Structure 1
């Protein structure tokens, strides 16, 4: 069992994260955190411009879990670890771009750097999928998706890390910084700029 003082440290961080605000076209909410990964965990979900009726986003979605273990697991090299997920549908020709995975990873690292979100021991995977419907799903045509799963050990204030994750979710959906209220742009155009 973790010490009570560590619970107070975690509770303080969580309260600051709960008070954060995000761009208007990103809906962020707290979700139940997974258990068994660390003594303390806090989780958020984000959807880009979700449908008001269904709550689902046709553009992109993400999840983030902030983990705290005062025993500082060796793999974390510190008491905190962030685990994140972001995904977005793409045009099929974009999904086949050989640089897509590299670009998705670079957007995360760039977002962390832009916010001075100090971190170490970053790891992750970028997965791109292509699909084609057959039979009764043939009318759906071809599809593609990018998915980025990443984790890193943060240093200092955790709010910039959450901001960077929120930017990543929007970037994958085709909404770069400063694009609030604009139409979702093609990821192809963003990648070639």
Structure 2
């Protein structure tokens, strides 16, 4: 077996593991095209919390990408890397909370730790976005949003990392663990469909 075929076999096993993960009913996950040129092997997934029939989610969305590069890029500190994104709209007053970014990052760390999803070389940003509509968008009022972009080098089973990401996306959307099927408090999202 050549090094290339060994890497391909390792990645195929990782893909199989990730594709076997089942998610809570509030989160719809599907495969999307992987980014090109980042790594020789990649698998990308998108998740939407309680999407509308059109496929949009007024609650939150996310992306999970597993990358594999047998040359072990120095910043990764290994042959595998996970890149994750999660985003959710917020009440404007929550968006002004000075600790929101720290709390968002801690939710990711807690989700990984609760699943014993070992990792190293983590990095990322948590971004708060506040908006106010003007002109024809004035009726939309004030808005806020939180975005988390993170990457880390996983150790151990990849499905635990995917589970942790799924929990994070739901947490940002206002749906903590065990809340499947429960209404989001005040249905606080600007939902043009309902």
Using structure 1 for the length normalisation, give the TM-score: 0.94
Shift, 1:23, TM fit: 0.3
Shift, 1:184, TM fit: 1.3
- The residue number in structure 1 matching 2:39 is 38
- The residue number in structure 1 matching 2:98 is 98
Shift, 1:16, TM fit: 1.3
- The residue number in structure 1 matching 2:5 is 4
Distance 2:85 2:22 in 1: 20
- Residues 76-106 of structure 1 show CA distances to partners (whole Å, capped at 9, x for unaligned) of 1111000000000000000000000000000
SS at match of 1:93: helix
Shift, 1:5, TM fit: 1.2
Taking the TM superposition and a 5 Å limit, the aligned residue runs for 1:161-172 are 161-172=161-172
Q: Count matched residues.
A: 186
SS at match of 1:3: helix
Give the gaps of 5 or more residues in structure 1.
Answer: 187-193
Shift, 1:185, TM fit: 3.2
CA-based RMSD: 1.4
SS at match of 1:29: strand
- The residue number in structure 2 matching 1:67 is 67
SS at match of 1:66: strand
Conservation of the 8 A alpha-carbon contact between 1:175 and 1:185: no
- The residue number in structure 2 matching 1:178 is 178
- The residue number in structure 1 matching 2:28 is 27
